[in-house]
Structure 1
Amino acid sequence: MQPSSPAAADTHLSRKHRALVALYTLDAGHLSREEILRLNNVSEADLAEHEEEWLRLRCRNPSMV
């Protein structure tokens, strides 16, 4: 059975939110980049577009730094 992501394409999350979930998942390092992009139905461009916001969000939670 393949791991699933809460942001998989069958959810109603926006592209922005799927990209943010993908960035957090990438940071955790448990899956390959390609798998994370596929599971979250996002592209490298989506990640780049939302990376600055993700960095701001990370800084708001001291346990993530």
Structure 2
Amino acid sequence: MLNFSSAPDPNSADDDGLPGLSCKHRAWVALYSLENPAFDRRQILCENDVTEADLVRHMESWMQLQLQHRQKQR
């Protein structure tokens, strides 16, 4: 079941104080979108309210998430 609550996640070490998704999760959405080369990078960053620095900061956790997903698919 998905939880769309705007309450901050008490377990999130990346809470930026904004309602909705954390910066980490917005960066993950942006990184996923950037896998499609047809999308405009600046637009994706703007739409997800993240910076290049946010992408760099969360790239390792994104790669770990992708690896876990691939391992579950086996």
Q: Which TM class, normalised by the smaller chain length? A: 0.7 to 0.9
Superposed CA RMSD: 2.1
Deviating above 4 A after TM superposition, structure 1's stretches of 4 or more consecutive aligned residues are none
Task: Name the one with the larger helix percent.
Answer: 1
1:15 aligns with 2:23: yes
Give the TM-score normalised by the residue count of structure 2: 0.64
Higher relative contact order (CA 8 A, sep 6+): 1
Whole-Å Cα distance in 1 between the matches of residues 65 and 39 of structure 2?
22
Deviation at 1:53, TM superposition (A): 0.4
Structure number with greater Rg is 2
**What are the ranges of 5 or more consecutive residues in structure 1 without an aligned counterpart?**
1-10
Give identity over the alignment, percent: 45
Counting matched residue pairs gives: 54
Q: Counterpart in 1 of 2:34?
A: 26
Whole-Å Cα distance in 2 between the matches of residues 20 and 30 of structure 1?
18
Give the TM-score normalised by the residue count of structure 1: 0.73
Aligned ranges for residues 1-65 of structure 1 at < 5 Å?
A: 12-62=20-70
**What are the ranges of 5 or more consecutive residues in structure 2 without an aligned counterpart?**
1-18
